[in-house]
Chain A
Amino acid sequence: MATPVIETRNIQKSFGDNKVLKGISMKVMPKEVIAIIGASGSGKSTFLRCMNRLNEPDGGDILFEGHSIMGKDIDIDLVRSQMTMVFQSFNLFMHLSAKRNISLPLRQVKKLKKEEADRLAMEALDKVGLTDKADAYPGEMSGGQQQRVAIARAFAMHPKVLLFDEPTSALDPQLIGEVLEVMKKLADMGMTMVVVTHEISFARDVADHVIFIDQGLILEEGPPKEMLINPKNERTRQFLKRVLQEENLPPLPQ
Chain B
Amino acid sequence: MIIIVFIVMLEASVNAKYANVFLNATIETIKISIFSIAMGFAIGVVVGLGRISNNFLIKGISTVYVEILRGTPLIIQIFIIYFGTPQFGIQFDAFTAGTLALGLNSGAYQAEIIRGGIQSIPKGQMEAARSSGMSYLQAMRHVILPQGFRLIIPPITNEYVTVIKDSSLAYSIGAFEVTYWSLKIIAYDFQPFTTFLFAALIYFTLTFSTSTIMNMVERKFRIPGYMGAE
With A95-B147, A108-B138 known to touch, is A81 a contact of B225 (CB < 8 Å)?
Answer: no
Q: How far is the CB of B140 from chain A (nearest CB, A)?
A: 12
B125 CB within 8 Å of chain A: yes
Task: Say yes or no: A87 contacts B226, CB within 8 Å.
Answer: no
Contact-size category for A? 20 to 34
Task: Say yes or no: B132 contacts A139, CB within 8 Å.
Answer: no
Task: Say yes or no: A94 contacts B133, CB within 8 Å.
Answer: no
C-alpha gap A137/B146 in the complex (Å)? 15
A84 CB within 8 Å of chain B: yes
Residues of A close to B89: CB separation below 8 A = none
Task: Say yes or no: B134 contacts A95, CB within 8 Å.
Answer: no
Contact-size category for B? 20 to 34
Task: Say yes or no: A95 contacts B226, CB within 8 Å.
Answer: yes
Give the contacts of B131-145 with A (CB-CB under 8 A): 131-135, 138, 142-143
Q: How far is the CB of B121 from chain A (nearest CB, A)?
A: 9
With A52-B131, A80-B132 known to touch, is A137 a contact of B225 (CB < 8 Å)?
Answer: yes
Task: Say yes or no: A153 contacts B132, CB within 8 Å.
Answer: yes
Q: Which of B122, B132, B142 contacts A157 (CB 8 A)?
A: B132
Give the contacts of A74-112 with B (CB-CB under 8 A): 77-78, 80-82, 84-85, 87, 89-95, 104-105, 108-109
Task: Say yes or no: A54 contacts B130, CB within 8 Å.
Answer: yes
Give the contacts of B106-152 with A (CB-CB under 8 A): 122, 124-125, 127-135, 138, 142-143, 146-147, 150
B73 CB within 8 Å of chain A: no
Task: Say yes or no: A91 contacts B124, CB within 8 Å.
Answer: yes
Residues of B close to A139: CB separation below 8 A = 223-226, 229
C-alpha gap A93/B150 in the complex (Å)? 14
A167 CB within 8 Å of chain B: no
Residues of B close to A108: CB separation below 8 A = 134, 138, 142
Q: How far is the CB of A109 from chain B (nearest CB, A)?
A: 4
Give the contacts of B200-230 with A (CB-CB under 8 A): 223-227, 229
Q: Which of B132, B135, B143, B150 contacts A84 (CB 8 A)?
A: B132
C-alpha gap A104/B143 in the complex (Å)? 9
With A139-B226, A139-B229 known to touch, is A84 a contact of B125 (CB < 8 Å)?
Answer: no
Q: Which of A54, A89, A90, A104 contacts B131 (CB 8 A)?
A: A54
Q: How far is the CB of B50 from chain A (nearest CB, A)?
A: 23
Task: Say yes or no: B223 contacts A94, CB within 8 Å.
Answer: yes
Give the contacts of A38-63 with B (CB-CB under 8 A): 52, 54
Residues of B close to A91: CB separation below 8 A = 122, 124-125, 127-128
Residues of B close to A138: CB separation below 8 A = 225-226
Residues of B close to A93: CB separation below 8 A = 125, 128-129, 143, 147
Q: How far is the CB of A145 from chain B (nearest CB, A)?
A: 12
C-alpha gap A70/B145 in the complex (Å)? 29
C-alpha gap A93/B138 in the complex (Å)? 13
Chain A residues engaging chain B, CB cutoff 8 angstroms: 52, 54, 77-78, 80-82, 84-85, 87, 89-95, 104-105, 108-109, 136-141, 150, 153-154, 157, 163
Chain B residues engaging chain A, CB cutoff 8 angstroms: 122, 124-125, 127-135, 138, 142-143, 146-147, 150, 223-227, 229
What are 21 contact pairs spanning A and B, CB under 8 A? A54-B127, A54-B130, A80-B130, A80-B132, A87-B124, A89-B124, A90-B124, A91-B128, A93-B143, A94-B147, A95-B146, A95-B223, A104-B143, A105-B132, A108-B134, A109-B133, A109-B138, A137-B223, A137-B225, A141-B225, A150-B128
